[in-house]
Structure 1
Amino acid sequence: MEHIALYRAWRPQSFQDMVGQQHIIQTLQNAIREQRVSHAYLFSGPRGTGKTSAAKVLAKAVNCERGPGPEPCNECPSCLRITAGNVMDVQEIDAASNRGVEEIRDLRDKVKYAPTEVRRKVYIIDEVHMLTTEAFNALLKTLEEPPPHVMFILATTEPHRLPATIISRCQRFDFRRVSLEDQVGRLRLICEKEGIAADADALQYIARLSDGGMRDAVSILDQISSFTDGNVTYQQVLGMTGGIPSEQFARLATAILEGDMGLLLDLVEQLMQEGKSADKCLENLLYYFRDLLMIKMVPKADQLTERVLNPAEFRDMASSFPRERLFEIVDTLNRYLGEMKYATHPQTLFEVALMKLCSLQQEITPTLSAAPMGMLQDVGGANTSTVDLSELDVLKRQITALEKKLEQALQSGGISGGVRENAVVQKSAVAQSSAPRMPSSKMPPHLDKFIAGKDHSDFANIYKQWSLVLQGVKEEKVTVHAWFVDGEPVSVMEDAVLVAFKNTIHRDTTEKPANRQVIEHVLAARLGKPYRLVTMMLRDWNEATLKSAERQGTEELRLEHEHETPEAKAEPWIDEAIQLFGEDLVIIKD
């Protein structure tokens, strides 16, 4: 007889077989009992928590020949054929491979026909978030007002990707991760029925590996039972899944506490020789120290973590670390775990992270030994675990520096030396501040014309429509929008729009020819006129407009006495130049 995978053989066939979703089961059973079944349901939640299984059980319950009732009988022809997938009126559709608008239109056309084999047509659309926007739009009206003989059940692991118009037309049920206790109980039942001998620790570890997914837990049990010929032990589960026992983490934590880098590197090498991956080792070590912190900070924290098998050992280890030290370790490991995703040599980064923790411990130890005994005794009388060692070190350095300054002042005959030093420092600071500043970035051509056009009516219209421009860029290419959204329009000149950026890298990326082409295409489409894109830095624009305002104020003062100034003699030449070449081509410079 052909072997059937355990997760398929033990798939729930009735509501009472489902694990950990009592809030959903009771609601559905009451709805069937009171004949208040909705026309559309949305089942969302993590993988392996029973969404599709619940949909099939619901389809059997509403079509059972002995019902409809709160439980399908699983004996009548309708229940048996729905279980086998042989009823045309109950269809399970994979939205990942039928995501187009044509498939949904075909479904919409078939909905209007009455069922031929069972009481109600049921359409189960799995992974519904994979449908395209056009397919969702085609489904909207049918989902809102289907014929009375049709029921839709949508299942998804990513409900945030569904349009709000779809969600509002369904009764939504959120499936939870199955608790560790419920998973262990279900695994124990499967082992008893299948004749598998399994240790309690082994089943608990399998449940923890599944991360709340019942299907994953049963699949791991199936794999390990095949490997061990039906006798599952904790050590075999560790060896088969690449897991690491808590004793090895305890040895790593002890080496970190003692600052023993040699022992740490030896332990890492042992883990790598056993075939462990560096990223999983670092992740599990982070979880280990997180559990230590929870046990140290929160009374009765055994229920807050599902990874602690022996709370007594964790309490002993947690008491060895100060709270601040545990916070620092968790923060450091979390930072290195984020960097490991892009690391070429993960093992090297894992070793560096552990050596970093050791070096931090070694920096704290000399500080403790150098502190005055009286201070340590006073602090220890209160609570030595709450001493902030870094602050103590800072205070010691400040006191030493003050003693040196006082000694120098006394030797120089008073505080005049300190005043003189202060004057020298201030003088150098003033000299540095008065030094000419280099331009921070390139300036666009015709900046004066842009400054003049910042109050133009054309710019006011463009500013009002800028949100449409950003939306158009986002629709064209979302990566360009991510860079372009940093800029804001500040002026317009004929066929050019000036956009000022806060960040240099955002401006440089926007200036690339391909990105510029996308933006200018959207500008022409949304503003009704082709515009060139001109960019500059926002700080340079603010500085230029400020200088322009100051220059205009100075020129206004000069106009009151222009008969006394030599510039008045040059005005006829300026007027003649403007008449010959036009106002746009003449730039007047002082």
Structure 2
Amino acid sequence: MTYQVTARKWRPQKFEEVVGQEHITETLKNSLRKNRIAHAYIFTGPRGVGKTTTARILAKALNCLQPVDFEPCNKCDMCRAINEMQSMDIIEIDAATNRGIDEVRTLRESVKYAPTLGKYKVYIIDEVHMLTTESFNAFLKTLEEPPAHTIFVFATTDIHKVPPTIISRCQRFDFRRLQIETIKHQLKKIADEEKIKIDDKALTIIAKKADGGMRDAQSYFDQVIAFCGENVDSETVSKILNLIDEETYFNISDAIISKSFQTVFDTINTIYQNGWDFTDFLDGLIEHFRNILTVVLTNKTDQIECAEIYKPKYLQTSKEFSKGDLLRILNFLAKSQQELRFSNNRKLKLEIILSHLIGLEKSATISEIISALEEGKASDFSDEPIKKKPIDKLAEPTPLIKNTSPLKKEKKSSEEFQSSQISASVASSSTVKANINNFDEIVSRWNLFVEDISKEKAFLLAPIFSKVQPASIDGNKLYLENLEPGFMETLSLNQEYLEKKSMNFFGKKLQFVEKKPEKNNEIKYTTQKASKSSISDPFERTIIEELGGREIS
């Protein structure tokens, strides 16, 4: 017997044999059962998912002499003639090569004639989107009102190229892209029937390479069998189909965890030596981290497409990454895709991308950082636990408000006291909850206060606060000395900011007041504050209000 490729040998002959398209095959069977047969159908979907096959089964079911549960029997004369492509009542036309208006006119003429043996004359037009505009227009009237014995079945992979006037005259069925598990199950069934040993990993590689098409999967299956014979192993399949092994992607995710930059160059060298495409590798790496994110979010491996042997490893790897980390990684890789495609040296560019990826530090939410600090533990980004500094190494302790109740004093634990201290290294960004009334404490923290506002307002406040020192305090008024000219004007423009900073550092809003010198040595700094309402020039107003300038009379 002449050899037949798997796609032809295992082509479905009944509706129930069409895998992954149950929503269509059941609808067509019900139409036959209820005798609600349309005069025109249009099947659309990716390549190799069963469009033409389903059209042929429909043609057999319509003309079968002995149907079984509205399925073709494949035994009667009509079924055998159709299977052997010898029936004159089933006309298959390739629109890619018969796309002109002359061919459509010939078809219109043949539609008039009744079927020779069967009940229906069925026209199956494949790749119908290839017809010209004139051909579609010539076909409209015939398609809308064909003879009762004529049925049209169109198949196309590009439904958007078919005019809406054609689609509206047909019943439309959308064929789905087949899932990897569906393809694997069918290939396993074929392998068992053909006495071929193949493992799950090899089936997964073939199914992923097929990209949702059963016909492509069966073609790759034939290619693998031709090389391996009856014993197929996954390593050989990867080499034949030139696919990147899943282990390569796990090497990268493991390198991110261990900060191993050497892995980058080892991996790139392997890709280069094997002739793998760098863009395909980056696409696969994005899918790899997408799988990890899926496991992190769902705690399951049901929604990832991979071999069964890798699912436990995905569960293990997911424990090393947070949601924030994975979103940053995926965002970074997605942006890098475009850069890699337009790069002149893709090998070098990919080395840089992966080096950046491994160099990314872990992220944490604000609540996680606060919780780690309160518990004295390291964050997810540190390899060592946070060590609490001894109290004498901290900045000057902030005295708490005295409490006359001895019972409440005892309840104040040493841990709460430590948490109220402010480290000198972070004092500039910390807040003081206690209300400081002691002038000595204000003096002790004054330099930190000036340092902090100088960092945030380097251009405006740093110069005028460089020599200023507190002289005394009276309630909320803090008297200052060694003031530079223009100090009070600039102070008034930044009053709200300084009140907030003083609240953070000293526990209350302070009003800064100039200390007047002794009468016999009095030096008056006279300034004239410009009135906002009296300034018409917008540039002058910006200089005075935003930059602390003053009007000199």
TM-score (norm 1): 0.64
CA distance in 2, matches of 1:243, 1:25: 34
Q: 1:164 to 1:254 in 2, by over 3 A?
A: same
Aligned partner of 1:276 in structure 2 is 276
Amino acid at match of 2:455: A
Map of 1:33 onto structure 2 = 33
Amino acid at match of 2:264: L
Q: Structure 1 399/136 Cα, relative in aligned 2: closer, same or farther at 3 Å? A: farther
Using the TM superposition, give the Cα deviation of residue 327 of structure 1 relative to its aligned residue in structure 2, in angstroms. 1.0
Equivalent residue of 2:125, what SS?
Answer: strand
Partner of 2:226: 226
For residues 478-510 of structure 1, what are the alpha-carbon distances to aligned partners after superposition, in whole Å with 9 as ceiling and x for unaligned? xxxxxxxxxxxxxxxxxxxxxxxxxxxxxxxxx
For 1:20, the equivalent position in structure 2 comes to 20
**Match for 2:490 among 419, 423, 426?**
419
Distance 1:374 1:13 in 2: 63
Q: Which residue of 2 aligns with 1:409?
A: 464
The answer to whether the 8 A contact 1:104-1:135 is kept is: yes
Shift, 1:104, TM fit = 1.5
- Inter-partner Cα distance in structure 1 for 2:64 and 2:538: 88
Distance 1:41 1:380, change over 3 A: farther
Give the 5 Å matches for 1:329-348. 329-348=329-348
Matches within 5 A, 1:569-588: none
Could you tell me which amino acid in structure 2 is paired with residue 402 of structure 1? E
Q: CA deviation at 1:33?
A: 2.3
Task: Find the counterpart in structure 2 of residue 304 from structure 1.
Answer: 303
* 2:252 matched residue in structure 1: 252
> What residue identity is the alignment partner of 1:283?
D
Tell me the residue number matched to 2:394.
none
Deviation at residue 197 of structure 1 after TM alignment? 1.2
Whichever residue aligns with residue 133 of structure 1, its letter is: T
- CA 374–129 in structure 1, closer or farther in 2 if over 3 Å, else same: closer
Contact 2:251 2:263 in 1 (8 A): no
Structure 2 segments unaligned to the other structure (5+ residues) = 383-425, 431-450, 469-482, 495-528, 530-534, 543-553
2:328 maps to 1:328: yes
Deviations 1:188-236 (A, max 9, x none): 1111221211112222332232222111111111111111012112222
Question: What is the CA–CA distance in structure 1 between the aligned matches of 2:8 and 2:36, rounded to whole Å?
Answer: 31
Change (3 A) 1:57 1:398: farther
Cα displacement (A) at 1:343: 3.6
Q: Distance in 1 between matches of 2:33 and 2:346?
A: 57
2:85 corresponds in structure 1 to: 85
Deviation at 1:429, TM superposition (A): 9.9
Judged with a 3 Å threshold, the aligned counterparts in structure 2 of structure 1 residues 412 and 221 are, in CA distance, closer, same or farther, namely same
> Aligned in 2, Cα 1:381/1:103: closer, same or farther, shift over 3 Å?
farther
Secondary structure in structure 1 of the residue aligned to 2:302: helix
Instruction: Give 1:2 shift.
Output: 3.1
Tell me the SS of whatever aligns to 1:320: coil
Aligned partners of 1:323 and 1:385 also within 8 Å:
no
- 5+ residue gaps, structure 1, are 434-590
Letter in 2 for 1:149: H
Query: For 1:242 and 1:380, how far apart are their aligned partners in 2?
Result: 51
> In the TM superposition, what whole-angstrom CA distance separates every residue of 1:94-118 from its partner, at most 9, and x where no partner exists?
1122222222122112111112243
Q: Tell me by how many angstroms 1:380 deviates.
A: 7.0
The answer on whether the counterparts of 2:453 and 2:462 sit within 8 Å (CA) in structure 1 is no
Contact 1:278-1:347 within 8 A present in 2 as well: yes
Instruction: Give how far 1:412 is off.
Output: 4.5
Q: Is the 8 A contact 1:183 1:207 kept in 2?
A: yes
For 1:151 and 1:185, the matched residues in 2 are separated by 34
Matches within 5 A, 1:183-202: 183-202=183-202
Kindly state the Cα deviation for residue 40 of structure 1 after the two structures are TM-superposed. 0.6
SS in 1 for 2:464: helix
2:62 partner amino acid: V
**1:378 matched to 2:373:** yes
Counterparts of 1:81 and 1:143, CA distance in 2: 26
Q: What letter matches 1:216 in structure 2?
A: D
User: Is the contact between residue 66 and residue 73 of structure 2 (CA under 8 Å) also seen in structure 1?
Assistant: yes
1:303 Cα deviation after fit: 2.0
SS in 2 for 1:42: strand
Instruction: Report deviation, 1:91.
Output: 1.4
Tell me, in whole angstroms, the C-alpha distance in 2 between the residues paired with 1:117 and 1:182.
Answer: 38
- TM-score of the pair, normalised by structure 2: 0.68
Change (3 A) 1:340 1:380: farther
Question: 3-state SS of the aligned residue for 1:70?
Answer: coil
Q: CA deviation at 1:376?
A: 7.3
Identity score, percent: 38
The within-5 A match list for 1:44-59 is 44-59=44-59
Shift of 1:409: 3.3
Any conservation in 2 of the 1:187–1:203 contact (CA below 8 Å)? yes
- Compared CA separation, residues 377 and 34, structure 1 to 2 (3 A): closer
* Aligned mates of 1:158, 1:58 — CA distance in 2: 22
Q: 2:226 is matched by which residue type in structure 1?
A: S
Secondary structure, counterpart of 1:303 in structure 2: coil
Distance across 2 between alignment mates of 1:121 and 1:31: 17
How far off is 1:344 after superposition? 3.6
For residue 395 of structure 2, what is the aligned residue in structure 1? Answer: none
1:338 is paired with a residue whose SS is helix
2:241 matched residue in structure 1 = 241
- Quote the offset at 1:407 in angstroms: 5.7
Partner AA of 1:303 in structure 2? D
Q: Which residue identity is paired with 1:410?
A: F
Aligned residues: 421
Q: Where does residue 515 of structure 1 map in the other structure?
A: none
Q: Deviations over 1:250-301 (max 9, x none)?
A: 111122334333321122102221222211111111100111111112343x
Do the aligned partners of 1:64 and 1:76 also contact (CA within 8 Å) in 2? yes
- Conserved in 2, the CA contact under 8 Å of 1:62 and 1:69? no
Code of the aligned partner of 2:124: I
Whether 1:317 and 2:317 are equivalent positions in the alignment is yes
Q: Secondary structure at the match of 1:73?
A: coil
Greater alpha carbon shift after TM alignment, 39-48 vs 199-208: 199-208
The superposition leaves residues 283-334 of structure 1 with CA deviations (integer Å, 9 ceiling, x where unpaired) of: 111100111111112343x222213633331122222223222112111212
Q: What aligned pairs does 1:561-576 form with structure 2 within 5 A after superposition? A: none
Go from structure 1 to structure 2 and tell me whether the alpha carbon gap of 1:27 and 1:238 turns closer, same or farther (over 3 Å shift): same
User: Aligned runs of 1:118-517 on 2, under 5 Å?
Assistant: 118-300=118-300, 302-307=301-306, 309=308, 310-361=310-361, 377-378=372-373, 401-402=455-456, 408-413=463-468, 414=483, 416=486, 419=490, 430=539
Q: Contact 1:336–1:349 at 8 Å: present in 2 too?
A: no
Deviates more, 1:110-119 or 1:414-423: 414-423
How many Å separate the matches in 1 of 2:43 and 2:381? 48
Indicate conservation of the 8 Å contact 2:179/2:212, yes or no.
yes
